[in-house]
Structure 1
Amino acid sequence: MSEIHPPEDGHQTLVENFPNGVLVLFDSALRYRIVGPKTLPFSERKATDLVGNNIYEIFPEETATELEPVLRSTIDGTTRSIDIKYDERVHHIETKPVDIDEDPYGVLVTQDVTDVRKTAKELEQQNKRLDQFASMVSHDLKNPLTIAMGELEQYRETGEDANLDGIEVALDRINDLVVDLTALAQSSNPPTETESVSLAAVAQSAWEIIESQSATLTIQNGEINGNRSQLQALFENLFRNAIDHGGSDVTVRVGPLDDGFYVEDTGDGIPETEQERVFDHGFTTGDSGNGIGLTIVSRIADDHGLTIFFSKSAEGGARFEFRQSNPES
């Protein structure tokens, strides 16, 4: 059987018609020596216009500076695999060192992976939200469920219709939470139904739904724009966190800021070494709580375009400031 040889000009044809990407042979001076295909798929530039040019002559300085150590390490014998952003697109680059006539060269292949990386990031975010969703629902539903069960037990003992009213309030709150937390978990966009909300009214409603024990709430009124039910969930979780960590007799204060509002308490505050982690899913500094509440606060704030700033109150307790990320929006 006769030996099969590559067709004449086959290698050149392969380079010039390289599909779905760019193929490059570069030298130790980081010059492009061979480039294919004839017309580059990303930029529509001609391959012949790149041949013989150094990467600093081909790309903007920022891109070339990022690319240089990758290509130099390839010339030194190391295979590389990286993503690099260029011209508002994400390109995946694979390199391999080769020797030609005992001189070091590198082979580079790059493909546009913008859509692939975007999809992967969206899936990662979606999975994270779905993972948190179960915890969020069970966490926020626990309080009104406890209230409803307590009111039901009282009704069985006394037969007072007032207890049925308490059950109705708790069940309405459960229904609101199911609707809003489901939408919150499924969407990364800000809530579409927003209105001007009284700071005092929404904070007082949140205070009435939690087990405030001997704690005290003081409110300086103002107006905030947002989804009322989600904002109430935000306050409920902040108040519950203050009582869990500040004690049953803690004082909680709520008031307006020029570009948002604040919530602070007179508790012990959060240690500086742990402040960066307070919004991490599942993180808690105490024996009580499951570390979900402040995750919910962070998510609701983010969906309302609010940036959270953490500091200390005058008494050393926790102070959360919620400020508009983009006041003009």
Structure 2
Amino acid sequence: MLDGRRLADQAARRVGARAVAMGTSALPVDSHLTPSPRYAAIGKRFGLTMREQLTCGFHVHVAVSSDAEGVAVLDRIRPWLPVLLALSSNSPFWMGEETGYASYRYQVWGRWPSAGAYDVFGSPGEYHRIVESLIGSGVVLDSGMVYFDARLSDHYPTVEVRVADVCMDAGHAVVIAALVRALVETASRDWRRGAAPSPAETGLLRVAMWSASRFGIGGSGLVDPILGAPRSPRAAVATLLSHVASALDHAGDRELVESGLERILAEGTGADRQRRVLRLSGGLRAVVMDAAELTNRGSAPSSAPTAA
């Protein structure tokens, strides 16, 4: 991961730019479409939504043995996705503006008609029926535009979890990836032993995702989508850890994840860091340069960042 980030930054420097792991651009920028027939068709249909789709998410793929296992996993990880979004939040600014959100990327992404939280599918047949009905509506152009918060990959034998912002700190990304793998493993085990998915209502799940996007790990902004009640970030993370503890142990990831989560809770997410740098420096260019240095360096120091 670090090698890839450094290679991207080296390539960017050769054309006078920098590689920056941010969920949205803090500075105003102009957009353009990649010249392809598919993107041209999407741009024609969705207009400004397409032109403003300047976001960077962190999609984690975990292998599954079949569509049956994959859909069973999708049905069982739903209540935990808001916690992943909150922990990864890294997009508080949009085109030069403070948004008030920890993950404004999630709000921008939510403009797409096929994006967001999903119902329990129950079977591969029902999953594929819903995908086909979205395409058949004539609004969604193809299966690649089915933007559920988690979905079956079109290209790989995987479940693709799509809720996280790209993480500025590579250490945060490792924690998110390990949690996703543990969630998938736990969900698969539950399915194999016949445990039913949580009955979390999709409406409450949408509220929980919004709250995670708005507040990140700040205050008591998380909502438990099963109980429909506020939850402190630390309590939500503790419940998630308990839920996936066996899978973390099996993978040898428990110490790494526990220490990484403690650091995120103590020091904040990428969104928190961006706002700290703005307070110290007074300028969004300093926010971007600090993010570029951290993207290339890989991990933040324990102390608060200084102005770039």
TM-score (norm 1): 0.20
TM-score (norm 2): 0.21
More helix by share: 2
More strand by share: 1
